[in-house]
Every structure is written in C-alpha cells, then in structure tokens.
Structure 1
C-alpha cells in the first residue's frame, strides 16, 4: 500500500466534488538504492519514512483507503511513538536522485497559522489583501523618493482590480522615513483580522477574516521588506542563497539553495539577540 501526504483539498466546479492534492511518501524498501544504508534502515524500523518531492497528483476522496498520520519532524516538538515521521526529502536533480533535509521545504499555511472558528450561524467573509509598495520621485529636478503603499482586495475579479477606485492608499513613507515603523500598525491590525473579527454589515453581524496574501513591489523595495540586501550584494536574491557571480548558472540545485521563511525567521531572531552592530552585520 502506498502512503501519500495530503497538501490541500480542491473542489471541482464541474461535479461539485472534492479532490485531494497529494505527494508520495515512500518507505525504506522503496528508496533509491544509493540512499540505502544501515543508518536509514535502522531509522525506518523506528517509523521513519521519506517524502518524495515530485509534481502533485490529484485524486478523488473515494480513492483513499485509510488515514495515516505522518509528521515532518522540524514542524513538531513532540511526535508520539509509532507515528510515521519524515526527516528527509528525496527528489530528482538533473535526472539523478538527490536528498535534502526536510527543513528545506516550504510550509503550508495550515502548518503554522491557527484561526478561531467563526460563531455558529454567522455569515463569514474572507478577504485576500494585496499590498503594493513602490518609491517614486516627487520633484522633477531633485530626487527625493516618496514610498507609496497601496492595498487591493484579491477577491475582486481582475477587471475590477484594474480600476483606480479599487486601489486604496494606505499611506506614504517620506524621504528618509522607516518603512518598518510605518507598516507596524498595519501588521498589528492584520494579525487581529487573521484571527477573525465580528463586524456590522447591513445591520447584521458577520465574521470577517482577512489575510495578507500577496506583497508586490519593485526589486529594491522587495529586498528591503524581505530583510535581504540589495540585488547587487553577494547574496542579493530574496528567494535563494546563490552567490551573485553564479546567478546566471543554470546548473543550480534550487531546492537546496532556496530561502525558506521558517529558517530565515530563525536567523533574524539570532541576529536580533546579538548585542553589537558588528555581530548583527
């Protein structure tokens, strides 16, 4: 019997039936031969399995035989004895099998976001927030940049999002101002809305959940928001750790060289705990 990891569920518009998007999980016997050895065999006896990174497959719910609990180790502090666990991911790179630590994978939002259940019998509205940030010059002859920050609702159809009236100005960051200080109140409000909030709509109480789904910006501003140095730095890409001189090299192991937000968050915490500017640099 084959084990699969469920990534998300999808609803088919044609037959109104749910589908599951899955990834394959393999046991020791099904590992490529180059990865077999005494260490992994002993770990397999202790209920370890391996996630196979490949294009997602879509199946119907009727194709599921039974449920199995599989936990990725770095996402859980405690894993019950006997539970299937994943510490490594196998994948193909240039046609050859390779392996990487399970922490080098993108987390699904459900892995790190918790939400409150809406009150019963109350209408629920979910809002997808799109934030756009860009600097522009305010004078013709002297360049003093002004940072414009705008919002859009991603729930709107594309033709409505294009309308000027549906671009909402959040504010402007003045020349020499600090974007982080400016955006802090907005982020605080968004964190509250992520948990849900009761609002009045047409004299009726409704449950509103909003989340910051997309942040759009030019390259310099995007790097600033991601906490990455500008694009001419040694590692100036905000999605990978490839050095500047190797960015045009197509022979890159992308999964191993990518930036993962849970790892980056840990690095930022370590930096903030340092006491001197030289150590933080």
Structure 2
C-alpha cells in the first residue's frame, strides 16, 4: 500500500537513493534538502517523477524548527497524512580533540545531527498521534555504538541521536508510533569521499568494506519498515564488535593503534 514519506538529505547519498526507490514503488515522497537548487536539478532528469504527482520538493534547513513545521503543514495539506519520516540529513567533519575547538564546528555537528533529528521527530508527532500510526526512522551511525578517535564531535552527536531516538521509541509506542534508529558502518556517499585522505578518519575505513547506499535503502524499505525495530545495525557483525568495544573501553583502547593502521591501509586503497 502506498504511503506518505518525508525524507531529509534528499539531494545526495542515502536520502537520494531512498527517495528514488520509494517513488519507483509508487509512494508519495516529500524530498527535503537545504540545497533546493540541487534537488530541482536532480529531478529535472527524472520526468517520470515530476513534481505534482507523488513527488514534492521542499527546501528544509533541519536546524530551523519553523521550517520543519511549515514542511509538515504543507505535506498534510497536500496528502492528508504522514506515514514515515526519515531523518537522514547529517554532517561529519574530522577532528582531533587536541585541535583548537572552533565553535562553529561544534554547532555544525549538534545543530544538524542532533537538533535536526529532534526537531523533525517532534514536528511529526502530533500528526502521527492523531492518525494512530506512524514510523520515524533516524539515521545514527556505528559511531553511535562506540566512539571513534579522530571523529569525537561526530561520535558525540551520533551517540545523542541514538539515545534520543531509543527513548522516543519507548515513549511513542503507546500511540502507535514506532521509532527506529539505524546505525550503519561507513557508507559509500559523498560525505565518505571527503574523508578518504584524512588521517583523523582512518578508523572509519577499518572494516573490511564500505556499505553501498542501496544496502542501507534495502534495510529501510525491507526489515525496518516490516518489523519496525527500535534499532538496526549494519552490518550486524560490526555492531557486535562496536557494542563490545563500548562495554570495555579500556581494553578497546589498547587496540586503537592497530585498527588505525589497518584503516589507513584500506583508506589509501580507496583513494
């Protein structure tokens, strides 16, 4: 059955791939991104997904609560409901904790990754509660399970996304609203491409391979939509390692240099 989706970060990476998959499945999609020109340019090449049918293009700065509220109002007025919100927009900038802290970089991670997720989640609750159903899918990261040296701000922000999302899921279930946190390992996106020559991001490449955007989309439209779990980790094997590392941080710290060197080797191969 066709459903109504709001998808953020829709101009690239996971968000773009997800929107196209949903539209191909005849779902109604509000594709949102701060870069509205990019959105328009992308969909000008897909006449089968012309705006006005099952597609709505929306400029959205996830850091601004009022623009979230305007987006929700527009979608409800046009399609009368919101079945699924996918909070995918995110940002990553590498940093050592010994670097001089730039306030703008702190704000960037927490305003987009954390506040954007919170504002989006809160903005759809009233509509979903009145429907008696809904599903909120928030993208965290494997870094939300175990902190990554070299990506301390990103890790901290994604820990917050995961914690908030799990708490929200436990609270909102009574209203028929599911909240799923998805924690993928490194995914081959433009955001990852920017990290290929950054030593601080070497641990991101320590897995035996990167995920494709299609693998993440497969998980969203497949088991996540069917089972509506509180959390899904991709791949599951890396999730086990990450959770174990989080339980035993002192022991894990002894192996950071090993995995950093391994990540650097794989990082060079990816360039």
TM-score (norm 1): 0.23
Task: Point out the structure with max Rg over C-alpha.
Answer: 1
User: Which structure shows the bigger proportion of residues in helix conformation?
Assistant: 2
Q: Which has the higher strand share?
A: 1
TM-score normalised to the size of structure 2?
A: 0.23
